[in-house]
Structure 1
Amino acid sequence: MSRKKKWVEADVPDQTGRVAVVTGANTGLGYDTARVLAERGAKVVLAVRNTDKGAAARDRILTTAPGAEVMVAALDLGSLQSVRDAAATLLAACPRIDLIVNNAGVMIPPKEVTVDGFELQFGTNYLGHFALTGLLLDRLMSVDGSRVVVVSSNAHKMGGAIHFDDLQWERSYKRGAAYAQSKLANLMFCYELQARLAAAGSATIAVAAHPGFTDSELIRHVWKPVAPLMRWAGPWVGQSPAMGALPQLLAATGPQVRGGQYWGPDGPFELRGYPTLVKSSARSHDLTVHKRLWAVAEQLTGVTFPV
């Protein structure tokens, strides 16, 4: 009996004519996602906080995808004004948008707040992407086959619930639990968005993915004595950003993908491997919390959705 074929970069279908916005695309998972999309013919927008690094990433992509159309847009997900400015820039520059990959994130930093006063991980990973998607969604809903891909993490299983009584961790900050909450919020956002899109009869879908354990700049806030050990162990228990990007690339481009799915690595504990359908926690499917969290996000960001 032949073994099932593993899904790899070469399986990304032709993306000619598609316009993709990838947040955090200057490095790591976002860079490899943007690179592959550009190599397959998509117009790619690198939505990044540091535009100098974004320009360097664009130049690197053009070495493997000569002639590709790659645009750099300033986006600081920790500033709602920056999110609004970025959305205005993208709406003016892109008559159509086929794909948003909500990839950027920050992981387990020391306690810090965004310019709007939100805990950094909740404000960046969740609220910033919520606002950006809401501001751009009309442009996607007019395009057949458009998608919103939300990058989560299996850390969402480790942080308990959404802490509505202290969303911004003002009483007691636990960086790992705050990261887990932000990634649980990402998943709930994806599932609730998909439900609303389906109820509206839209052809746009929302899909979630996670990269497993990937060696990227996200680990820069890990306790310093531990970081070298994580990098040393990476080749055995984790994988490269190019491999870690495969689940979100499949979610973004695979013809077999359906709204509300969650894709991740197929290896032990989903730490590494090739993309496959995976399961999120039971808590992530709590519809009552979905709706409450959505309402809170609308209130905090001032952004409402056309669904």
Structure 2
Amino acid sequence: MPAWTADLIPDQHGRTAVVTGANSGLGLITATELARHGARVVLAVRDTSAGERAAHRIGGDVEVRELDLASLDSVRKFAAGLTTDHPAVDLLVNNAGVVLLGPRRTTADGFELHLGTNLLGHFALTGLLLEALSAAPQARVVGLSSITHKNAHLDFGDLMAERDYRAAAAYGRSKLATTIFGLELDRRLRAAGSPVISVLAHPGLTRTNLTPRAWEHRGRLGRVIARAGLLATQPVEQGALPQLRAATDPAVRGGQFFGPSRLGETRGPVTEVRPSRDAADPAIGERLWTVAERLTDVSYL
């Protein structure tokens, strides 16, 4: 079977897509391909100046809106404005993320930054956009996972890593939480008889702007490590293919998970991959869902 490429994306005219973190890296490639195939693409970005530059580069039917996933107030304002102008949303790609290897930091709402941004911001956003997603035929939510989720475990007694903070572990836990959320969301959508599906993807090891940023606090040594890491990664155009397939392949079913097929899922053609045992556990999914609803004050399904 030939490898899946962006050229296989079907016509997207008439569809409205929201891509978080769309001004660089995987999000920029994803937004570019969706627009190239005819979608109206909303670039949901923290820095609107960078978003405008990205929109100019992408061309097509593209608009820029401010969204800071590390602020629930920003998430609510974004969702309110978007649904006023776009009552039906066909695709939500929860792409944005943060990875830091420095000291512990928190969001505007006091959450540990990785979990607050990567999980809770997207959890709130998805819930607030669910009515608009339900108004579109065959809508999808695509969550961005990471291979780091496979070695991570959640500590519900210390979700915000206040007692034991290690940056790399906090990132892995946030990506595990993101994966749990995507799978639990699909279970709940199916149970509710919703036409919306939830799909997951991960990019393997991919060259994005997150790699150098993660090490910038280490000065010269950090820059050396970041450059060495870039040599081991695949191009961002290749890394974006799993989420593009999850977003556009007509054969995709809810609950599927896509990633690279070679070298421990670090690179290569897109294939369906398996989540970790913790990620797929419905009991963990239900528990995390309850916590996320309480922390974000967003309830759905």
> Scaled by the length of structure 1, what TM-score is found?
0.94
The residue aligned with 2:210 is 218
The residue aligned with 2:249 is 254
The residue aligned with 2:137 is 144
The residue aligned with 2:54 is 57
1:142 to partner: Cα distance? 1.9
The residue aligned with 1:129 is 122
Q: How many residues align?
A: 296
Structure 1 unmatched runs, 5+ = 63-67
Residues 294 and 277 (structure 1), Cα distance of their counterparts in 2 relative to 1, 3 Å cut: same
The residue aligned with 2:71 is 79
The residue aligned with 1:65 is none
Paired with 2:26 and 2:287, the residues of 1 have a C-alpha distance of 30
RMSD over equivalenced CA pairs, Å = 1.2
Residues 119-159 of structure 1 deviation map (CA, whole Å, 9 limit, x = unaligned): 00000000000000000011111211100000010100122
Q: 1:292 aligns with which of 280, 287, 290?
A: 287
> 1:1-307 residue pairs with structure 2 within 5 A?
4-62=1-59, 68-110=60-102, 111-159=104-152, 161-219=153-211, 220-222=213-215, 223-224=218-219, 225-232=221-228, 234-235=230-231, 237-305=232-300, 307=301
Runs of 4+ in 1 over 6 A off after TM superposition: none
**Percent of counterpart pairs with the same letter?**
50
Task: Return the letter of the residue paired with 2:278.
Answer: R
Residues 228 and 12 (structure 1), Cα distance of their counterparts in 2 relative to 1, 3 Å cut: farther
Task: Return the letter of the residue paired with 1:53.
Answer: A
Paired with 1:99 and 1:139, the residues of 2 have a C-alpha distance of 10
Task: Return the letter of the residue paired with 2:204.
Answer: G
Deviates more, 1:113-122 or 1:263-272: 263-272
Paired with 1:8 and 1:208, the residues of 2 have a C-alpha distance of 17
Residues 202-249 of structure 1 deviation map (CA, whole Å, 9 limit, x = unaligned): 1210000000111111111135525544534535x3211111100000
Paired with 2:18 and 2:244, the residues of 1 have a C-alpha distance of 13
Query: In 1, are the aligned partners of 2:127 and 2:298 still within 8 Å (CA)?
Result: yes
Query: In 1, are the aligned partners of 2:42 and 2:62 still within 8 Å (CA)?
Result: yes
Query: In 1, are the aligned partners of 2:88 and 2:134 still within 8 Å (CA)?
Result: no
Query: In 2, are the aligned partners of 1:17 and 1:41 still within 8 Å (CA)?
Result: yes
Task: Return the letter of the residue paired with 1:168.
Answer: M
Paired with 2:255 and 2:111, the residues of 1 have a C-alpha distance of 27
Paired with 1:228 and 1:129, the residues of 2 have a C-alpha distance of 32
Q: Partner of 1:202: helix, strand, or coil?
A: coil
Q: Partner of 1:122: helix, strand, or coil?
A: helix
Task: Return the letter of the residue paired with 1:103.
Answer: N
Residues 57 and 251 (structure 1), Cα distance of their counterparts in 2 relative to 1, 3 Å cut: same
Structure 2 unmatched runs, 5+ = none
Task: Return the letter of the residue paired with 2:292.
Answer: A
Task: Return the letter of the residue paired with 1:252.
Answer: A
Residues 92-139 of structure 1 deviation map (CA, whole Å, 9 limit, x = unaligned): 121210000000000134210011000000000000000000000111
Q: Partner of 1:101: helix, strand, or coil?
A: strand
Residues 267 and 227 (structure 1), Cα distance of their counterparts in 2 relative to 1, 3 Å cut: farther
